[in-house]
Amino acid sequence: MLSALTTRASSALTRLPRGLGRLGQCQLCRSWQSQPICAACLTAWRHPSRRCLRCAIDLPHDHPDTVCQACEDQSPEFDRAIVAVDYSGPWPGLLTRLKFQGATALAKPLAQLLAEAVCARRGATSLIVPIPLSKQRLRERGYNQSWLLAKQVGRRLDIPARVDVLERSRHTQRLMNLSAEERLRQIRDAFHVSPRALATLAGQDVAMVDDVMTTGATLNACALALLEAGARSVSAWVVARTPAPTNVRSS
């Protein structure tokens, strides 16, 4: 009898830490939550703004058109970019933790934010693909943050996501040290569609998912590769948008 009681008591004790283990602090307001970013913080830091329909850059309030001047002058290869937030406030810190510091649990709330931004404008999207890392970078980091986001967004919007469509051919140098022209050439040559994905790509409306959009050159190169391989249309879905590429380390 005594030993039965002791067994029950000790099993209750061993259950307790597991239950508590699901709780953690919100990364922004430090309140105790079951999610790494609480719902109140996700809403509070969103700051919806008026954006270019093509490249999602912030438009001045008095801008007369729905498209920015740069896109008027030269359209990107993708049809539209949708971003969830500006690369400012708490977002650079959170995205850095997701990308470089192994905080993979942040993918879920950040993907939720992106899925909500995309929801009304998802169009006929039939396939979600992440922007790939080179094999070397993937080995170093152990995961591709864009794939973590793409999987979660796909699950939320009920759209299939595939990691094996786009490939990064080689390890690009730290791009911010290069001239604009050399940077573009390197990026354009770096991406291709994997031969085994060609058959499934024909006629698909593809959304590329990434964590941060800077100049859009990477997304542009990937869109070009997807369109040349037979995709019907390509969109870009990105968590955060910045016009300042020097603030972000290249992936």
In the chain, the amino acid numbered 72 is E
- Does position 110 interact with Zn ion (CB under 5 A)? The reply is no
- Binding segment for Zn ion among 8-16, 20-28, 138-146, 155-163 (CB under 5 A)? 20-28
Rounded least distance, CB 220 to Zn ion, Å: 12
Q: How far is the CB of 219 from Zn ion (least distance, A)?
A: 12
55 is a contact residue toward Zn ion (CB under 5 A): yes
54 binding Zn ion? (CB under 5 A): yes
CB of 61 to Zn ion, least distance (A): 16
- If one asks whether residue 153 binds Zn ion (CB under 5 A), the answer comes out as no
**How many binding residues for Zn ion (CB under 5 A)?**
10
Q: Which two tokens stand for residue 34?
A: 């079951």
- Supply the minimum distance, in Å, between the C-beta of residue 176 and Zn ion: 21
Give the chain as a DSSP string: -HHHHHHHHHHHHHHHHHHHHT-EE-TTT--EESSSS-HHHHHHT-----B-TTT-PBPPTT-SSSS-HHHHHS--SSSEEEEEEES-TTHHHHHHHHHHS--GGGHHHHHHHHHHHHHTT-TT--EEEEPPPPHHHHHHHSS-HHHHHHHHHHHHHT--B-SSSEEE-S----GGGS-HHHHHHHHHHHEEE-GGGHHHHTT-EEEEEEEEESSSHHHHHHHHHHHHTT-SEEEEEEEEE-S-GGGS---
Cα gap 125→223, rounded to integer Å: 14
Is 238 a binding residue for Zn ion by CB under 5 A? The answer is: no
Contact with Zn ion (CB under 5 A) among 29, 119, 180, 202: 29
Region near Zn ion per CB under 5 A, out of 1-9, 15-23, 50-58, 228-236: 50-58
**Binding to Zn ion by residue 68, rule CB under 5 A?**
yes
Stretch that binds Zn ion, among 11-19, 26-34, 161-169, 208-216 (CB under 5 A): 26-34
Among 36, 52, 117, 208, binds Zn ion (CB under 5 A): 52
Tell whether residue 94 is a contact of Zn ion (CB under 5 A): no
Binding residues for Zn ion (CB under 5 A): 26, 28-29, 38, 41, 52, 54-55, 68, 71
